[in-house]
Amino acid sequence: MQETLLKIREVSKHFGGVYAVSGVSLNIKGGGIWGLVGPNGSGKTTLFNTILGLHRPDEGDIYFNGKCINRLAPHQIYGLGLVNAFQIPRLFSRLSVLDNMLLAARGHQGDTLLNSLFLRKGWQEQEVELAGKAMEILETLELVHLALSPAGELSGGQRKLLEVGRGVMSSPTLLLLDEPAAGINPNLGKKIFQGIEDLSQEGLSFFIIEHRLEILFDFAHWVYVMDKGKIVVEGKPEEVLEDPAFFEVYLGV
């Protein structure tokens, strides 16, 4: 049996009178791709932000690796290996794709930026190791041919792939992605998910919000469906697709 990585128990978050998240419980176990879907405004992003410590839950508890993280600050949660790929500090468009990957590695952010750019001698060994890791990830994401290109020259889809890659560089245990395939063409969207699947086979877990159900359902092995702040259906994609409650949510029957 896989370990439960993330355990959410009866979590609620309201903004004034709006219950954005209302009594949500769910489990994410180690490995694989876990999906979170639901109509606009159903509370998905609020749930992610609550998990990541950007909002404090009004009710309920969140555990990561058995430790209650309700009251931890975002950087502490990040420190535990629970990472939102799209929240890592922004891309530097004039730096190469590879340098952007290196800057996302743990211990190479913020105050070490200058060191990592200009004082390379002292830590070359570590850099070589990280560069090897970065190139491997870029290869999985089919970006390796762009490693030395400025990040600013990437297309929208390639940029998304790079952001996923930077998330992976931070050595997370669980990577949260809020709509990785939004705003890019379906083929590239699929390619992003293929890259994510390859990375998940190396033991990394993903929890992914996605409106492109036709792509997500091909890759996720478990899907949670949210509506009006609650989880209303969960299961394997093929089970969810057969659940009348799923259609009620999407068709508003």
Ligand X SMILES: Nc1ncnc2c1ncn2[C@@H]1O[C@H](COP(=O)(O)OP(=O)(O)OP(=O)(O)O)[C@@H](O)[C@H]1O
For residues 147 and 132, give the distance between their C-alpha atoms in angstroms, rounded to a whole number.
Answer: 12
Beta bridge partners of 84: 176
Q: How far apart are CA 27 and CA 6, in angstroms?
A: 6
Q: Which is nearer to ligand X, 159 or 212 (CB)?
A: 212
CB of 40 to ligand X, least distance (A): 3
- The residues that touch Mg ion, with contacts defined as CB under 5 A, are 45
Q: Which is nearer to ligand X, 38 or 172 (CB)?
A: 38
Decide if residue 250 touches ligand X (CB under 6 A).
no
Write out the binding residues for ligand X, residues 1-30 only, by CB under 6 A: 15, 18, 20
Q: Which is nearer to ligand X, 35 or 43 (CB)?
A: 43
Pick the stretch among 35-43, 117-125, 156-164, 168-176 that binds ligand X (CB under 6 A). 35-43
Only one of the segments 42-50, 65-73, 110-118, 122-130 lies at the binding site for ligand X (rule: CB under 6 A); that segment is 42-50
Tell me: does residue 180 bind ligand X (CB under 6 A). Answer: no
What is the sign of the dihedral through the CA atoms of 155, 157, 161 and 162? Answer: positive
- DSSP category for residue 85: G
SS (H, E, C) 143-160: CHHHCCCEHHHCCHHHHH
Which of 41, 74, 150, 235 is in the footprint of ligand X by CB under 6 A?
41
User: Where do the DSSP E strands lie in the chain?
Assistant: 4-15, 18-29, 32-37, 59-64, 67-68, 82-84, 174-178, 205-209, 222-227, 230-235
CB 7, min distance to ligand X, A? 20
Q: Are 101 and 85 in contact, with CB atoms under 8 Å apart?
A: no
**Binding residues for ligand X, total number by CB under 6 A:** 11
Asked if 247 interacts with ligand X (CB under 6 A), we say: no
Binding residues for ligand X (CB under 6 A): 15, 18, 20, 38, 40-46
